[in-house]
Chains A and B, each alone.
Chain A
Amino acid sequence: MRIKILIRLKSQILEPQGKVIEHSLNNLGFNEFNNIRQGKLIELDLPDNLSKEEKDQKIDSACKKLLVNDIIEEYEVLG
């Protein structure tokens, strides 16, 4: 199964790239685009025969050990 993990900076942490993107979009006339924040998406394959618990546990553990720095980031598993 294909897994997608969305990682983003916590809302209280300045995300300057989003600010720059927002500024540029506003300059192009997209004035209603506000509060833009950029994150990252990690996609990976896990075996189909894993139970939901095993899958959740593995993803959670990988996020805590390496993929996410919980001082500054949060994550959610999509779909």
Chain B
Amino acid sequence: MSFKSVVITFPGSNCDRDALCYLQDLTKGVVYNIWHEEASLPQVDLVILPGGFSFGDYLRSGAIASKSKIINDVIKHANDGRYLLGICNGFQILTEIGLLEGALIQNKNLKFLGKNCFIKKKFKNKFNLSIKENQVLQIPVAHNEGNFYCDNETLKLLKNNEQIAFEYCKGEFSNSEENINGSIEAIAGITNKKKNILGMMPHPERAYNDFHPSQDGKLIIESLIS
């Protein structure tokens, strides 16, 4: 059975093309690109909200995009238990919709971070099944607001429900940091309680092709289609 997927494009998305290639190359299935003003989504297995600066990051990152017309159907898609992946700005949009807990605030050191970073999986879910315990993945980040914040009560829930999917960690570069942006408990990605929605700041779609410095991003799609 072929795996079908969608990438949604907002004005200001700039990783939608990368996400389309990522899905086309790795799933070998049908991939649709849907404009945010569309009213409905086709029946698919996975929807990606891509990275970028939707609506210029006006008001708050992801805030305006979270009210787009297509979002009603994105929520319906997720409520049906199908997969939804928000990468970078897509993660910010998911928290603004309220499908994921917490919020992403400005990086602790005030710098836009555009570099390779290292992450490992924390709790098992369908998005990271093919990744081994303690396996360190090299995946790039490119964000200004990637500092994950939630209150203590929410953090406790995220842990108890095993919703933390990825955390930043030290990697092979001598200057790599344990927690690049100041996120609570170095959180790099979380899922919802049902674990069919993942939001993550690092960009797996920039780490899969032969010409990328790393191909570790493949593991996410491999996990989903395995």
Contact = CB atoms under 8 A, between A and B. Distances in A.
Chains A and B belong together in one complex: yes
A16 B181 CA distance: 12
Majority secondary structure of chain B interface residues (helix, strand, loop or mixed):
loop
Interface in A12-32: 13-14, 16-17, 20
Contacts of B95: 71
A71 B147 CA distance: 14
Interface residues of A, number: 12
Interface centre among B63, B64, B96, B149 (most CB of A within 10 A): B149
Nearest to A73: B60
A72 B110 contact: no
Contacts of B20: none
Contact of A20 (B67, B102, B107, B110): B110
Contacts of A65: 67
A14 B107 CA distance: 10
A41 B190 CA distance: 31
Nearest to B151: A71
A69 B110 contact: no
A24 to B, nearest CB: 12
A67 interface: yes
Interface string B172-213: 000000000010000000000000000000000000000000
